Structures are given as structure tokens and as C-alpha cells.
Structure 1
Amino acid sequence: MKGMKIEMSENMYANSEDTEFYTRNHMLGKGTSGTNRDSKTGSRCCMLTAVCLGVLCAVLLVALSLLWFKLNTEIDQLQTSCEAKEKNLGMLSQLDGWRYFRSSFYYVSTEKKTWNEARQHCRERGADLVIINSEEEQKFIAENMGIAWIGLTDMDSEGVWKWVDGSSLTTGYWGSGEPNSKGDEDCVVTGYKSTNVKSWNDYYCNNVEVCICERKINWI
């Protein structure tokens, strides 16, 4: 009996060690499997994020391309429309004596008047004496309109030349030696003794000349 008890105790101890070994190995195996699953899940998330970002970039690129194409198309259409309008306005202006150039109509009076009378003549036609803002405009006037009053004067302050809209003269196209006023020539004509671009001359305001009227066109 005593031998049997010793043998049973040894078996129970062995079984206890086997159970502990099994349990420990089982727990270690379970932990390793969980780590692998977490790693795979993280990889899938990273991959999914990368795919989503790629799709988003592609969508944005397509949207920007479509917007750019639409913008260019609208610009081309607007330019074509403006060119057509300018052509039509240029043709229509010839019907009643007005000439068209770069968003303005120009008219040369047939009667000679003083500077003040000339300005009133222009105003009665919904215009004013011409304001020349560029060399291109001055060339157009010099080539087509001869000697005529323009909307430039220093009546208010001698030597301080201003346009009829109150703006100051920045670039002048004076003829040689002009202006040469001594306080008595306060108004300006263009085309004086010259068809060149630089043909302005300060002049007595009570002299009589034809005038150039300008009516600006607002597209919008």
C-alpha cells in the first residue's frame, strides 16, 4: 500500500507538471497568434489609407483639369465675342461719322469752334473732348484726324495740365518747343503743323478749330 501511494503521488506530480507545461505553452502560443493578427490588421489599414489617398489625388487632379479646361474655353469664347463686337462697332461707327478704336468712339466736328464751344458740342453728343492715354491712341488720332482741339488745358493753374475728367497729364506728345505759353495759351490742339505723333501745341482757347470728341464704351 505504501508503495502504491508513492507511485500515485509521483504520477500526480508528473501530471501537474504536464498540465502546467501545456497551459504555459498554450498561453504563449495564443499571445503570438494575437500579435500576428494585430500586425496584419495594421498592414491592411495602412494599405487602405494609401489607396484612399491615391483615389482622392486622382479625383482632385481630374477636377482641376476639368476646371482649367472650362476656364480656358470661357476665356476663348469671351475673347471671340469681344473681337466680334469690336468689328461690328467699327462697321457701325462709319455710318454716322464716328470712328471706333480700342473701346472708344471718336468724332471730328465739321464746324470750327472755340475750345469751350467745342467741349459743349461734344457733351451734346454724349461725349467729351478726347483724352489721350497712350501712344497708340495718339498715332490713331494723328493719322486720321488732323488739327483739332483735345481735352487738355491749364486754365485752372498755369503750367499744370489736366484733362477734362480732372486727371493730370502724365505723358505728353508735344511738338518741338511746345508748350511755350506765357500764360495766354491755355488749351491744346493736336496735329499742329505736323502729322507726326508729337504734334501737340498749346493754343489760344478763343481760337476756332474743329474738335475731336470721344465717347468711351463700357463692356460690362
Structure 2
Amino acid sequence: MEPQFRAIADHAMLVSFSDVINEKAHASVIALDRAITSNMPTGVIETVPALVSLLVSFDPVKTDHHAIESHLRANLKNLEMGRSSGTDREIHVCYEAPLAPDLEEVAAATGLSQEAVINAHLAGDFHVLMYGFSPGYAYLHGVPEQIQVPRKPAPVRGVPAGSVIVAGAQCLITTLTMPTGWSIIGRSPTPVFTGNPDHPFLFDVGDSVTFERIDLKTFEKLSKETTHG
């Protein structure tokens, strides 16, 4: 599909590359975002890359939708495509009870053993596609097809921060205690919040993520180290 441009209020332009999540569309989002941020047009305040679209916010006193769209179209003609050269991130995860309350259900739904589900998750090719509604809520794409399960019929409340959750092809590491309808297959002691105001979250859009399995004893040790810093 050809890129679609849509004016958002009086201060933003949305460029969409597809109606469905796919690697080509997201590569276009990252490439356009990189092109704009390397040579920021007059009046542009911020760019927000998402799954298949890019939001460009601007100061309506300094520029307008027509000028921003013209700049975007000019950049689209010379995009350097390919998978984003983000940073490789390693995340510890413990799949043991009681940290993985839905692991048994995922295994039953997929017809695999719990160990096979774990191994499949560890083998996933994960990349950060976007940030979501909660601080540090990075959407990771790359859950292997054999362990993809749908959202639950109803969300569960009080899911602890650090929970590793999956739904369809996506995976998340929760950053706050909150409800979720995704399946909880483990928990990570790796902090997503960095404490650095210039780079508050561990991930950037385009980063690749590898999960490393740890046991419960190691999880408890790393959690204490993180808490007491």
C-alpha cells in the first residue's frame, strides 16, 4: 500500500504504511523516522514511531500540514531501507512458579510441553516496535508462531511489574503493577526504567531483544540487587 497521510488536529501529521503489522511497513517507519530526526524540519517538535505508522508533531505557529507532508514525501523518495541497526538488549527471565502463572495454560493451548514453550520463547527473534500506553511499555514483536496465543477473555488485575507477557506475535515486560489480558509466562528482574532523564527507558524502538533464562534463586538475587541498587 502507498503511504497514507492524515492531518491530526492542527499540530501533527500521521503517515501510515499498512493496515496490518508487517516487517516491511515497520522498516519504512524506522527509516522515515531516522531520516527526519537526522535533519529535523523547521517547526517539528517530536516524532513518534509506532507499529506501521509515524506521528510527526509540530508547532503550528512555525509550520503547517502542507509543509510537513511535502518534507515527508521528499524523504520517502530516498529512504534507506532494511532492518534497523538498533542496540541488542539482553533480558533475564525466570519461568518458574509462581512467576509464570499462565505457562501451563499456554502449553495446553499450543499442544506443547511447558519446557517446549520456554525454549520457543527463548528462541524468539524480538524487536521493539513501539512504546504503548504505560511508561516503558515496549511492544516486542517476534513471538514464535507455535506459541502464539490470543488475549484472555477477561483481564487479570494486580499483575506485578516485570511480568513477561505474550499475546499473538507480541511480547511485553510490564513496568507497573497493572491488569492485563495477556498470558503471563515469566518474570524479569531486569529494570526497564533507567533513572536517566535523558534516556528513561532501557529500550529504543528498533532495538533487538534476547531473553536469557534464569532460575528462581538467581531471580531473587538480581531483584534484591536492583531494589537496593
Same-fold status (TM-score > 0.5): no
- Provide the TM-score with structure 1 as the length reference: 0.20
Higher strand share: 2
- Provide the TM-score with structure 2 as the length reference: 0.20
